[in-house]
Structure 1
Amino acid sequence: MSTPIVSATAAKRLVGIHAATVCPFTEGFAIDEGALAAHIAQVMAEPRINGLLVNGHAGENAQLSRDAMKAVVAIAREAARPDAFITAGIYSESTQKAAAMARDATEAGADALLVFPPNGWALGQDRETVVAHHTGIAEASGLPLVLYQAPVATGPMAYRSDTLEALMALPSVAGVKEGSWEVATYEENWRLAQRMRPDLSVMASGDEHLLTCYLIGTTGSQVSLAAVVPGLVCDLFEAASAGDFKTARAVHERLYPLSVAIYRKRSGATPTARLKACLHILGLIPSARVLPPNRMPAPEEFHALERLLRSML
């Protein structure tokens, strides 16, 4: 298991904006390694991006094989700046498989692991099971962990306060990707972390209400919006951190239509598919292809995203 010293060091680096990147694919649904490396390099060209989250939801982790997930981490490590902090997402319904993925990520050069709750926990979970799952992953890798606080709309997948408190007490935990997607719950969890572990990194990750979370309090964000418009997301965090509300509100107004179009709209396409569509429209990845059962946006939605990006950039 990670020592408290290792976790504390990681927490100090889990600050500012960390972009959650996508994974481009070929026509045969293999990783387009060149396109992925170029995507990573383009995001990291913004010097204020402090790190990356790979193999997250935006990276289609639920559809990737174990070998593919390891390859993504290795490519990101090679393509990113040497000082970039790389967090690798770990998702599996099995603790044993998740532990194997954690070892892979460690070998490939990850600095920390973001542990996603198994989707089966939407049917119910208990504190002891959740703690055991995270402990098994930490012991397998030796890397510090980042907790994933799921949206409140996912029901039992979103940890109760007592479960979150037990997880924060683990010496391997360095941070929380707070994705409750509900401001009151975000603040409750932020205050819980401040009481329990003021050294812990709490990263606001609701792309639609980043400004509100930044004003409440945060150490940074792991967000996929920063993979599309990294400069604007950094501008928002920078202005909010400096207490420059006028500038922060102006940046928020620019970002808001895009965040709504990507994350709030309910259609056959997932937010990941719309992120990829945006990157393709901007000429930053060669294809917007997603792994089945994910679907690409319909032509009318694709054109709407194109019009929106043209108007704001």
Structure 2
Amino acid sequence: MLGRQIWASMRQGLSRGLSRNMKGKKVDIAGIYPPVTTPFTATAEVDYGKLEENLNKLGTFPFRGFVIQGSTGEFPFLTSSERLEVVSRARQAIPKDKLLIAGSGCESTQATVEMTVSMAQVGADAVMVVTPCYYRGRMSSAALIHHYTKVADLSPIPVVLYSVPANTGLDLPVDAVVTLSQHPNIIGIKDSGGDVTKIGLIVHKTSKQDFQVLAGSVGFLLASYAVGAVGGICGLANVLGAQVCQLERLCLTGQWEAAQMLQHRLIEPNTAVTRRFGIPGLKKTMDWFGYYGGPCRAPLQELSPTEEEALRLDFSNNGWL
């Protein structure tokens, strides 16, 4: 924790940088991003060498940038210092022309502000802030608007909202998103809920703002583009980066029939590495595709032989293995 010193420095020193950041209104986040996994050794230490190797391989694809310390990065299992060190090492490995969006969400507003400022200091171009959820029964639209407004007010870099109800049990309400889209330092949202109607409604209701919507999964990427999303943060891009980028190109060039065919072939493997087998499934698949997946941190466990075979079938049945 950076404590009182961070709060003091923000009040004194961030106003000029923040105003400069807001003045030109903002960073264009349109495009595809892999939410990068955090590699661990057999003894559950962060393997920074493997992180760099994975980023170098992923850097061969036409991604807009990388999300570091999102849900796929197992951020709840890392210490604050580890989260910052992962982002710092990633920044060194990622080309300067690629955006680095860092997950900075914590449960309290103060901790989130401190983490956000620290992420900016280690090289993040923007932060992605997940909804606080432990006291979800009290996380009304008013509470969430207050939380995100305070974070955006004090962040020296742009803020992306992050709604992932499968993990948090909390869906960021449309009315809150619309209100927050008017903040000059909130530039967009990653919506992982899978409700394309909601995504389209957010696009519609924020159309007068400089606000961009990213799909949170490749499983509904085509549908999200069809209703006005500008890209996606897609876990499957960690193993099928070329194909996810191809789906983006097909959508952007209006080749909807080809896009539909590719989308269909990506649905089952995407579900396998997200909802069905989660991060252990994604990391196992990374091992198959020439990346380093490796183990997860406990309490996440590796797949059973039966699960691994089911995972392999979801990829091979669609022609990817």
**TM-score normalised by L of structure 1:** 0.89
Structure 1 unaligned spans of 5+? none
The answer on 1:165 being equivalent to 2:178 is: yes
Structure 1: distance between partners of 2:144 and 2:124 = 23
User: Which whole-Å deviations, capped at 9, do the CAs of 1:77-123 have from their partners, x for residues lacking one?
Assistant: 11112211010001211222222211221111000010111121432
Is the CA contact (8 Å cut-off) linking 2:178 and 2:202 kept in structure 1?
no
> Partner residue of 1:200?
211
SS at match of 2:117: helix
The answer on 1:312 being equivalent to 2:315 is: no
Question: Quick one: higher RCO (CA 8 Å, sep 6+), 1 or 2?
Answer: 1
Structure 1: distance between partners of 2:255 and 2:289 = 30
> Partner residue of 1:183?
196
The answer on 1:237 being equivalent to 2:251 is: no
Is the CA contact (8 Å cut-off) linking 1:186 and 1:213 kept in structure 2?
yes
> Partner residue of 2:8?
none
The answer on 1:100 being equivalent to 2:114 is: yes
Matches within 5 A, 1:77-116: 77-116=91-130
> Partner residue of 2:53?
38
Structure 2: distance between partners of 1:9 and 1:36 = 32
Is the CA contact (8 Å cut-off) linking 1:7 and 1:172 kept in structure 2?
no
How far the C-alpha of 1:153 sits from its partner, in A, is 8.8
The answer on 1:280 being equivalent to 2:260 is: no
User: Which whole-Å deviations, capped at 9, do the CAs of 1:115-168 have from their partners, x for residues lacking one?
Assistant: 11112143231233223322333344311100113338955x212222112211
The answer on 1:250 being equivalent to 2:257 is: no
1:11 corresponds to which of 27, 30, 39: 27
Percent identical pairs in the alignment equals 26
The answer on 1:302 being equivalent to 2:308 is: yes
User: Which whole-Å deviations, capped at 9, do the CAs of 1:49-80 have from their partners, x for residues lacking one?
Assistant: 01011100000111111111101111111111
SS at match of 1:312: coil
Structure 2: distance between partners of 1:201 and 1:159 = 15
Is the CA contact (8 Å cut-off) linking 1:8 and 1:174 kept in structure 2?
no
Counterparts in 2 of 1:3 and 1:173: CA distance versus 1, 3 Å:
farther
SS at match of 1:23: coil
Counterparts in 2 of 1:4 and 1:186: CA distance versus 1, 3 Å:
farther
> Partner residue of 2:65?
51
Structure 1: distance between partners of 2:35 and 2:167 = 21
RMSD after superposition: 2.1
* Count of aligned residue pairs for this structure pair: 303
How far the C-alpha of 1:299 sits from its partner, in A, is 1.8
The answer on 1:70 being equivalent to 2:77 is: no
SS at match of 1:35: helix
Is the CA contact (8 Å cut-off) linking 2:21 and 2:156 kept in structure 1?
no
Pick which of 35-44 and 247-256 moved more.
247-256
Structure 2: distance between partners of 1:160 and 1:108 = 31
**TM-score normalised by L of structure 2:** 0.87
Structure 2: distance between partners of 1:159 and 1:94 = 16
